[in-house]
């Protein structure tokens, strides 16, 4: 199946059923009990910085582990699995003293591994094709917030630097064979806009055009992103990109995320997606919500007509994804409705002029 055919199949599948995304990667990698040598491999055997904990580099040093995890999630019922590239930009990987070539290779190989796993599972069950989302995560530096509490105008990175970092990542993901882009765990809308501009500019240069899934993060009970926007303001800020899907992930469990997903379902004219944490972490940083608990809440979302795509974030496992897939099975996806034409703008709050 060509990529054009896969994208068409993805869009058709989204009309027919609620699509299922995979779950957490960090927790699953931790379960493997990997050591520093696994993260270094032969390529980074003499690297001058510790690498344990840099999960993305396993695309180069332990591709077998990453391929196995994709398979576990596809076997659990996921339609879509993310590439293991959440932190694969030159800005984030600078923490590990890795350079541009390393970052390009992580993204390309991460996409290639996921693509091979998806092809294998599609061959097994052609009636349920599997897809690959290129994971484009948040940066450890923000454009909308000061890097110095004593200087509101201070920034540790420029827009051009963020844009260039995303251009590198997105080009490599595209070349590696992803079917869509997932700009996820967005805490800073301006960083997200840099990624959207990178995609747009690369497409203008002739790169394959792929669907875009945008997933923000509400950081606490305030109902706002870390950079201060409400859900509706966030949507107004990114809707110009005409994304395939808009949604939320991370930070909150399903019970706390529900009202914000309901807000998105009310205002957006595209697919709505959600992949919450398995509750909130306990005092030891562990997620205790069971697959049955998480899936019961997400089933209610589905039956209430709020979502088109579901999955899991921190603390979720293949067991959670299996339970979510079973809960959503046979439930009709949310129907997209058109909103009346109006000028809709946003700062921290939405502004609408009919």
CA distance 275 to 316: 9
CA distance 4 to 179: 9
**Is residue 308 classed as helix, strand or coil in its secondary structure?**
coil
Which residues does 179 contact at the CB level (< 8 Å), separation at least 6?
3, 6, 7, 10, 118, 131, 132, 133, 210, 211
313 in a labelled binding site: yes
CA distance 159 to 149: 20
314 in a labelled binding site: yes
Ramachandran bin of 266, using left for φ above 0, alpha for ψ from -120 to 50, beta for the remaining angles: alpha
Are residues 264 and 231 in contact, defined by beta-carbon separation less than 8 angstroms?
Answer: yes
Q: What would the DSSP string read from start to end of 89-136?
A: SHHHHGGGT--HHHHHHHHHHHHHHHHHHHHHHHHH-TTS--EEEEEE
Which residues does 110 contact at the CB level (< 8 Å), separation at least 6?
56, 59, 66, 83, 84, 85, 88, 135, 173, 176
Distances (CA, A) of 266 to 125, 185, 348: 35, 21, 18
Find, among 61, 175, 59, 166, the residue nearest to 117 by Cα: 59
Are residues 98 and 165 in contact, defined by beta-carbon separation less than 8 angstroms?
Answer: no
Are residues 323 and 295 in contact, defined by beta-carbon separation less than 8 angstroms?
Answer: yes
192 in a labelled binding site: no
- Total number of residues shown for the chain: 354
Are residues 157 and 145 in contact, defined by beta-carbon separation less than 8 angstroms?
Answer: no
CA distance 265 to 259: 10
Helices 291-303 and 318-328 pack at an angle, to 10 degrees, of 30
Which residues carry a binding-site annotation for Zn(2+)? 250, 313-314
Which residues carry a binding-site annotation? 250, 313-314
């Amino acid at each position: 199946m060509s990529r054009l055919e896969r994208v068409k199949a993805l869009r058709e599948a989204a009309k027919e059923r609620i699509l299922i995304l995979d779950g957490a990667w960090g927790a699953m990698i931790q379960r493997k009990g990997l050591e520093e040598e696994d993260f270094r491999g032969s390529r980074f055997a003499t690297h001058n910085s510790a690498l344990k904990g840099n999960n993305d580099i396993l695309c180069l040093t332990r591709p077998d582990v990453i391929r196995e995890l994709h398979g576990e999630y596809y076997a659990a019922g996921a339609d879509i699995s993310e590439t293991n590239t959440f932190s694969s930009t030159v800005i984030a990987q600078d923490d590990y003293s890795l350079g541009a070539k390393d970052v390009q290779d992580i993204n390309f190989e991460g996409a290639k591994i996921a693509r091979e796993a998806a092809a294998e599972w599609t061959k097994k069950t052609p009636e349920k094709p599997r897809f690959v989302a290129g994971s484009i995560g948040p940066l450890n530096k923000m454009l909308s917030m000061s890097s110095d509490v004593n200087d509101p105008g201070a920034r540790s990175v420029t827009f051009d630097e963020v844009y260039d970092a995303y251009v590198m990542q997105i080009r490599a993901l595209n070349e590696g064979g992803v079917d869509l882009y997932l700009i996820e765990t967005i805490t800073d809308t301006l960083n997200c806009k840099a990624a959207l501009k990178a995609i747009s500019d690369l497409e203008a240069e002739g790169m394959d055009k792929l669907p875009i899934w945008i997933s923000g993060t509400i950081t606490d009970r305030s109902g706002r992103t870390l950079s201060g926007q409400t859900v509706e303001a966030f949507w107004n800020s990114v809707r110009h990109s005409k994304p395939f899907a808009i949604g939320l992930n991370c930070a909150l469990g399903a019970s706390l995320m529900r009202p914000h997903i309901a807000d998105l379902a009310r205002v957006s004219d595209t697919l709505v997606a959600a992949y919450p944490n398995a509750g909130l972490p306990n005092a030891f940083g562990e997620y205790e919500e069971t697959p049955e608990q998480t899936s019961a809440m997400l089933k209610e979302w589905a039956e209430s007509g709020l979502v088109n795509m579901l999955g899991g974030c921190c603390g979720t496992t293949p067991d959670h994804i299996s339970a979510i897939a079973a809960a959503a099975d046979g439930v009709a996806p949310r129907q997209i409705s058109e909103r009346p034409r109006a000028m809709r703008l946003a700062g921290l709050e939405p502004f609408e002029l009919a």
